[in-house]
Amino acid sequence: MAYDPENIFARILRDEIPSTRVYEDDEFVAIRDVAPAAPTHILVLPRHEGVTGPADLEQADAPWVGRMVVVATQVAREQGLDADGYRLVMNWGRDAGQTVPHLHLHILGGRPMLGLA
């Protein structure tokens, strides 16, 4: 999957498309998903362009990907999801349901997450 700098997440990061941001720093933006799969469904987007998904990651990416997970847990806590639990999901490819070729992490919570894991 080739990286497209005009993908919707890249455009959101450049403020070309509006979004509901719940967190933002120099490395990441967290937005509410427009088609939520759970009562709370937030996407953590790295400002880093060029990585389409987890299969593109290399050892050198480990520090910022680790920080992305830490940001996701912080956002989940701020959303009140830590008491009952939440799920972090990263998809790769069509069969996994990835629709945007820009690495992102889903935070899902607000109801029991049954199945798969």
| Active-site amino acid positions | 104
User: For residues 38 and 115, is the Cβ–Cβ distance under 8 A?
Assistant: no
SS3 108: strand
φ and ψ of 67, to 5 deg? -65, -35
> How far, in Å, CA of 76 to CA of 65, rounded?
17
> How far, in Å, CA of 76 to CA of 60, rounded?
26
